[in-house]
Homo-oligomer: A and B are copies of this chain.
Amino acid sequence: MIPTITAFECSPDRGRGLARDMRVRWALEEASQPYDVRLVSFDAMKEAAHLALHPFGQIPTYEDGDLVLFETGSIILHIAEQDASLLPKAAKPRARAITWMFAALNTVEPPILDLMTARIIENDKPWAQERLPLVMDRIRVRLAQLSARLGDAEWLEDAFSAGDLMMVSVLLRLRMSGLLDEYPNVAAYVARGEARPAYQRAFAAQLKVFTDRA
């Protein structure tokens, strides 16, 4: 039996790899874990059958036998716990990798989500243009701290882990903003993540969903 994840039937990012199933696909590819995908429409995401899997009506979900998970962080941690290349077995590096997963999701991503809100949901508001620099500056604070910590290192700790997978995935949301280019070592770090064969396979798989439909 192989796990089944859900993904957008028609991703709003047109297959650019920013939907959150990409993060799970990437982890599954790193772990060499085959998986099935069930596509879900926007309408179906708000219906009872999907809400039973994901109470917040989002994708991805993860089903493996009678285990049902939601939240990319939780799904990726679950996958990583079965694969030492994503999560070291030794207590200390394991805990450090998990720390970076949470840092990506709870410290770095919230101001980036705020930029998505400002650019997409509130873009028609009269204050949108005036507010945007404030939002971007809050992202710069985090990028500067991350840049300082990263320095010349290849990954956040000694070796690539699920922490890097999550951090790179979160930072990729900034590709269109130009903000990454202000921090060359962070941009290079993101590029190293994208260059991984597992990332490339995952990217191609999610893009195919879009192109098959188009």
In whole angstroms, how far apart are the Cα atoms of A177 and B69 in the complex?
31
Asked if A103 lies at the interface with its beta carbon under 8 angstroms from chain B, I say yes
| Chain A residues in the interface with B (C-beta under 8 A) | 51, 55-58, 66-67, 69-74, 77-78, 91-92, 95-96, 98-99, 101-103, 105-107, 109-110, 113-114, 117, 121-122, 125-127, 130-131, 134, 138, 142, 145-146, 148-149
| 9 cross-chain pairs, A with B, having the tightest CB-CB distances, nearest first | A127-B127, A73-B102, A55-B149, A74-B99, A71-B102, A105-B106, A74-B102, A110-B110, A56-B145
**A55-B148, A145-B55 given; A73·B106 CB < 8 A:** yes
How many Å lie between the Cα of A95 and that of B107 in the bound state?
A: 22
Flag if B103 contacts A105 (CB, 8 Å).
no
Question: With the chains together, A124 CA to B85 CA distance in Å?
Answer: 48
Q: How far is the CA of A77 from the CA of B114 in the complex (A)?
A: 26
State the CA gap A98–B102 with chains docked (Å): 12
